[in-house]
């Protein structure tokens, strides 16, 4: 991959590990300065490996030939004050923001338990709080900067669960909300040349996914556990291609399946394999690009 993001500034939320980390590494490799956020500061603070500082250090290593680097910022995306401070820092240190990837997610501990929603605690609404509401909050801050500079890309990490029941009511609804937020933001951002897109991930082999597959594959949705899965860097490759695409505004407002966009951009995974779209098994996105239809409610 040729460096395509030299001089760009990105923010990837929830990047101590998992999808967020993989995306941050690719963006740094492509030359971007990447602000990476997370709540895990020290190894051992969480049961899975990975820290926000560790991701930033790996970004530095991956970006050494392209000028890319990582900047670690401890941030709880459920805390509006911390989020505001994060964007104040980006404004102060970088003066602009070209790419926002909303990846921070809070998953309930009983996510895989096959109980109906009324037998699970209301505290599971934390998945809406850090998953849908936090995506909106970060996008709100980012849009102020991007609209001013008349450019930018906001990406929501979502999934097939936006249209297909997966792991319960709250989890599925959260992703449906995310897709719609991206859609309607795109309408209001279009005059400012800022794109908003939602990406559907299939099974991504994060640290948590590998742990779940090892311990509780029988509780996972069959269509999820039956996938071969992608690396955490695969969506980053697609996002880097989108960020460098001069016609990205033609895609704004749509929900895309990451595997299908990868084929369009001729992107393979880190092992050289192409990732299979699960459209036929798990469903199709509801929203197409804003510029291709007139469903704007105006």
The chain-wide mean pLDDT, for the chain, equals 90
Q: How far apart are CA 257 and CA 40, in angstroms?
A: 29
| Token pair listed for 251 | 């895609």
287 Cβ contact list (under 8 Å, min separation 6):
179, 180, 182, 183, 198, 253, 254, 255
- Look up the pTM and report it: 0.91
CB 70 within 8 A of CB 24: yes
Handedness of CA 220, 221, 226, 230 (dihedral sign): negative
Residue 155 pLDDT = 98
Q: How far apart are CA 282 and CA 157, in angstroms?
A: 17
Span 103-120, average pLDDT: 89
Q: What are the b/e assignments for 201-224, b being 16+ CB within 10 Å? A: bbbbbbbbbeebeeeeeeebbebb
Using alpha carbons, select from 84, 172, 161, 163 the residue that is nearest to residue 127. Answer: 172
| Tens digits of residue pLDDT in 132-145 | 999 999 999 999 99
Return the minimum-mean-pLDDT range out of 44-53, 151-160, 230-239. Answer: 44-53
Helix (H, G, I), strand (E, B) or coil at 292: helix
Residue 259 pLDDT = 95
Span 75-104, average pLDDT: 97
| Token pair listed for 224 | 């999820």
Span 15-36, average pLDDT: 95
- Domain positions in the chain: 9-291
Span 218-224, average pLDDT: 52
Span 83-87, average pLDDT: 98
Please give the full DSSP string across 24-80, using - where no structure is assigned.
HHHHHHTT-EEEEEES--STTSSSSS--HHHHHHHHHHHTTTTT-EEEEEE--TT-H
Return the minimum-mean-pLDDT range out of 167-171, 191-195, 220-224. Answer: 220-224
CATH code of domain 9-291: 3.40.50.720
Q: How far apart are CA 43 and CA 49, in angstroms?
A: 6
CB 249 within 8 A of CB 151: no
Residue 267 pLDDT = 93
pLDDT for 107 beyond 90? no
| Tens digits of residue pLDDT in 152-176 | 999 999 999 889 998 899 999 999 9
Return the minimum-mean-pLDDT range out of 40-44, 48-52, 171-175, 211-215. Answer: 211-215
Q: What are the helix (H) ranges across 65-168?
A: 80-93, 126-128, 134-149
| pLDDT level of residue 50 (50, 70, 90 thresholds) | confident
DSSP-assigned letter for residue 112: T
Residue 294 pLDDT = 60
């Amino acid at each position: 991959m040729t460096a395509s993001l030299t001089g760009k500034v990105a923010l990837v939320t929830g990047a101590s590990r998992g999808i967020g980390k993989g995306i941050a590494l690719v963006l740094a490799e492509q030359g971007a300065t990447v602000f990476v956020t997370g709540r895990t500061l020290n190894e051992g603070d969480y049961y899975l490996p990975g820290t926000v500082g560790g991701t930033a250090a790996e970004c530095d290593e991956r970006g050494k030939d392209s000028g890319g680097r990582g900047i670690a910022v401890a941030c709880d995306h459920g805390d509006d004050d911390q989020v505001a401070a994060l964007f104040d820092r980006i404004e102060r240190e970088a003066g602009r923001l070209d790419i926002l990837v909303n990846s921070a997610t809070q998953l309930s501990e009983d996510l895989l338990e096959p109980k109906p929603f009324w037998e699970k605690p209301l505290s599971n609404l934390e998945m809406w709080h850090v998953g849908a509401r936090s995506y909106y909050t970060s996008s709100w801050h980012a849009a102020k900067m991007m609209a001013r500079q008349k450019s930018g890309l906001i990406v929501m990490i979502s999934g097939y669960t936006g249209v297909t029941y997966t792991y319960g009511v709250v989890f599925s609804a959260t992703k449906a909300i995310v897709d719609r937020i991206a859609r309607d933001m795109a309408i209001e951002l279009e005059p400012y040349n800022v794109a908003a897109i939602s990406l559907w991930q299939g099974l991504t082999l994060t640290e948590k996914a590998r742990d779940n597959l090892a311990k509780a594959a029988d509780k996972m949705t069959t269509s999820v556990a039956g996938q071969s899965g992608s690396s955490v860097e695969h969506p980053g490759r697609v996002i880097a291609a989108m960020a460098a695409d001069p016609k990205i505004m033609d895609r704004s407002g749509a929900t895309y399946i990451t595997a299908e966009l990868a084929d369009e951009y001729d992107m393979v995974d880190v092992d050289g394999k192409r990732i299979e779209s699960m459209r036929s098994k798990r469903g199709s996105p509801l929203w197409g690009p804003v510029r291709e239809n007139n469903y704007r409610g105006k």
